[in-house]
Amino acid sequence: MTLHEYLQLHDALSVRELRFRMAQYGSPIKSDAQIRQWQHGYARRMPSPPNCVAIEHATDGRVTRQDLRPHDWASIWPELAKAG
């Protein structure tokens, strides 16, 4: 599920809640705008690998690292490619 799809769900965290939850997982984001840029793919921006892990944890696995970085996740996390 994409970040955009997740944030549209009625039971999803809000952008602000997601940002705070990511900070709990060690990825502090300075503003909600950064998450919105990832949500809408502004200027092809994607979360960094550490932020992808934090989003995956913050969303309880509903948005995965593979969802967030569909073109390069296997080279970043080869252990996931082997497991899948």
> What are the pLDDT digits (tens) for 2-59?
999 999 999 999 999 999 999 999 999 999 999 999 999 999 899 999 999 999 999 9
Whether residue 65 contacts residue 52, with contact meaning beta carbons closer than 8 Å, is answered with yes
Dihedral angle sign, alpha carbons of residues 78, 3, 21, 29: positive
49 in Cβ contact with 79 (< 8 Å) = no
CB count, 10 Å around CB of 81? 12
How many structural domains does the chain have? 1
Range of the domain at 48: 3-83
Rounded CA separation 71/10 (Å): 28
pTM: 0.94
Residue 84 in this model has a pLDDT that exceeds 80: no
Tens of pLDDT, residue by residue over 45-65, are 999 999 999 999 999 999 999
DSSP 8-state secondary structure symbol assigned to residue 39: H
